[in-house]
Amino acid sequence: MQTDPLLQMRHIVKIFPGVRALNGVDFTLRKGEIHALMGENGAGKSTLIKVLTGVYASDGGEIKVEGQAVSIRSPQDAQNNGISTVYQEITLCPNLTVAENMFIGREESAWVKRKDYEKRADEILSNLGIPARSTQELGNCSLAVQQMVAIARAVDMKCKVLILDEPTSSLDDKEVNMLFDLMRDLKSKGVGIIFVTHFLEQVYEVSDRITVLRNGELVGEYTVEELP
Ligand SMILES: Nc1ncnc2c1ncn2[C@@H]1O[C@H](COP(=O)(O)OP(=O)(O)OP(=O)(O)O)[C@@H](O)[C@H]1O
Ligand SMILES: [Mg+2]
């Protein structure tokens, strides 16, 4: 028996004054898949992600997570459905430590002792092979490591769908490879990753499938092998 996809977005419509940003777009993500979302400027990539993460209300369409229809009206709804985004511009606090950034604002962190969450942070970092220590100030880490800490935080919050919006644009080659290793590791742990990018080379290197949008329309969904 075929299991339900991790995520199904069907016929998604989003209208801004004067623009149909999304005109009935479909997008499917499987468990343990890295799925690239591509398209020219203005294609609708960010809008699709914002509908998925509850930043925008859609004007039509449906979203299913593991086969169940869900209503995502806020970022909190997205979080509750296991959907997390790591934005290109890091949204963590550079003057706090790595561990503080991983646990800040999370209910369970209120009563946990500093030493305990530092220990837990170090375990998570080492499990994911992220070269940082829990007690380091985040702002002293490279951008790549800061981004990986944001990913570690999302993963520890049980995210099933991880969205990376242009994650490589400010990284050098070595850092890109580090990020790809982390993505492959999460994939092997069953996380579904949506990789929004402009870089076709990187898509070939790390993705399983690709969805291409143009002017708010779905151009197609391809496996990496199918593409020239
Ligand atoms: N908040 C908004 N208000 C009005 N129009 C918007 C808004 N956000 C996006 N649009 C329009 O919707 C369309 C899709 O934009 P979107 O940002 O989703 O494209 P994108 O694929 O992410 O492009 P880029 O590669 O430049 O990031 C564009 O025509 C854009 O101008
Ligand atoms: Mg965009």
Q: Quickly state the pLDDT bin for 11 (edges 50, 70, 90).
A: very high
Q: Is the pLDDT of residue 168 over 60?
A: yes
| Average pLDDT of the chain to the nearest whole number | 92
Domain ranges of the chain: 1-82+160-228, 92-158
Q: Is 197 near ligand 1, meaning CB less than 6 Å away?
A: no
- Name, in order, each residue with C-beta under 8 angstroms of 45's C-beta and a sequence gap of 6 or more: 37, 38, 39, 165, 196, 213
Looking at ligand 1, which atom is closest to the CA of residue 14?
A: 12
* CATH number of the 1-82+160-228 domain: 3.40.50.300
CA–CA gap between residue 221 and residue 18 (Å, rounded): 27
Cβ(133)–Cβ(125) below 8 Å: yes
Q: What's the mean pLDDT in 167-195?
A: 92
Measured by CA distance, the residue closest to atom 24 of ligand 1 is 41
DSSP 31: T
Two structure tokens written together for 90: 């890091």
| Among protein residues, the one whose CA lies closest to atom 29 of ligand 1 | 42
- The response to whether residue 214 sits with its C-beta less than 6 Å from ligand 1 reads no
Ligand 1 pocket member 46 (CB < 6 A): yes
What pLDDT score does 167 carry? Answer: 86
Name the E strands within the chain.
7-16, 19-29, 34-38, 60-65, 68-70, 83-86, 161-165, 192-196, 209-214, 217-223
Q: Report pLDDT digits (tens) over 198-220.
A: 888 889 999 999 999 999 999 99
Specify the pLDDT at position 90.
64
pLDDT at 146 over 80: yes
Query: pLDDT above 70 covers what percent of the chain?
Result: 95
pLDDT at 104: 84
pLDDT tens digits along 28-41: 999 999 999 999 99
Q: What is the rounded CA–CA span in Å between residue 28 and residue 14? A: 18
- 91 falls in which pLDDT band (50, 70, 90)? confident
Distance 167 CA to ligand 1 centre (A): 18
Nearby residues for ligand 2 (ion, Cβ within 5 Å): 45-46
